[in-house]
């Protein structure tokens, strides 16, 4: 994992420098805080659930701007719905988590995930008939959605 993350962050920094961005690259961690890219390269395990943590941090900021202390955040994407609790303007943090069947001894935002049927797309067979069909999500997700994929409407089917 370390070489993959290091290579990705190095390429990202090079691209940002090429575009004239002088600010140092910071990366979201699983616990919801930021770290500099040099630390992220050394300890990539701290990034495992940084995406869901980012959604919770966004919910915390939105709640604070609305002067709300307690919030339930729901971040719905193409493959899952991530749910978290913010109590007294602080996300709940667990000292360690589980990813798949593996215990991970890294502090992380307490996010509960409901999986979906990967990604589903809508297809109209006739004017009065619309079908929903499953379509596996690509992995790894490309940085930019392809033109063909942008042309197809899609829905998420959480398994409630």
pLDDT in tens, the chain (160 residues): 899 999 999 999 999 999 999 999 999 999 999 999 999 999 999 998 898 999 999 999 999 999 999 999 998 887 788 999 999 999 999 998 887 788 889 999 999 988 765 555 545 555 444 444 545 555 444 444 444 455 554 444 443 3
Q: Is residue 160 in some structural domain?
A: no
Burial 55-71, CB ≥16 within 10 A → b, else e: bbbebbeebeeeeeeeb
Mark whether 32 and 105 lie in a shared domain.
yes
Among candidates 13, 46, 45, 16, which has minimal Cα distance to 29? Answer: 46
Distance CA 90, CA 73 (A): 12
Mark whether 31 and 90 lie in a shared domain.
yes
Q: Is residue 84 in some structural domain?
A: yes
Mark whether 14 and 46 lie in a shared domain.
yes
Mark whether 83 and 125 lie in a shared domain.
no
Mark whether 141 and 69 lie in a shared domain.
no
pLDDT for the residue 141: 46
Mark whether 51 and 68 lie in a shared domain.
yes
Q: Looking at the 3D structure of the chain, how many domains does it have?
A: 2
3-state SS assignment for residue 53: helix
3-state SS assignment for residue 10: helix
- Length of the chain measured in residues: 160
Mark whether 102 and 125 lie in a shared domain.
no
Tell me the residue range of the domain where 62 lies.
Answer: 2-115
């Amino acid at each position: 994992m370390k070489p993959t993350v290091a290579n990705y962050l190095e390429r990202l920094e090079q691209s940002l420098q090429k575009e004239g961005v002088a600010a140092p690259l910071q990366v979201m961690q699983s616990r919801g805080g930021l770290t500099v890219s040099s630390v992220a390269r050394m300890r990539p395990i701290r990034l495992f659930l940084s995406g869901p943590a980012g959604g919770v941090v966004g919910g915390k900021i939105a709640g604070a701007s609305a002067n709300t202390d307690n919030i339930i955040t729901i971040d719905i994407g193409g493959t899952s719905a991530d749910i978290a609790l913010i109590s007294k303007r602080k996300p709940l943090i667990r000292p360690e988590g589980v990813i798949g069947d593996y215990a991970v001894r890294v502090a992380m935002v307490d996010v509960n995930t409901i999986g979906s049927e990967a990604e589903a797309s809508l297809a109209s067979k006739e004017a009065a008939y619309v079908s929903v069909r499953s379509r596996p999500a690509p992995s790894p997700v490309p940085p930019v959605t392809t033109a063909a994929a942008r042309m197809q409407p899609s829905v998420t089917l959480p398994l409630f």
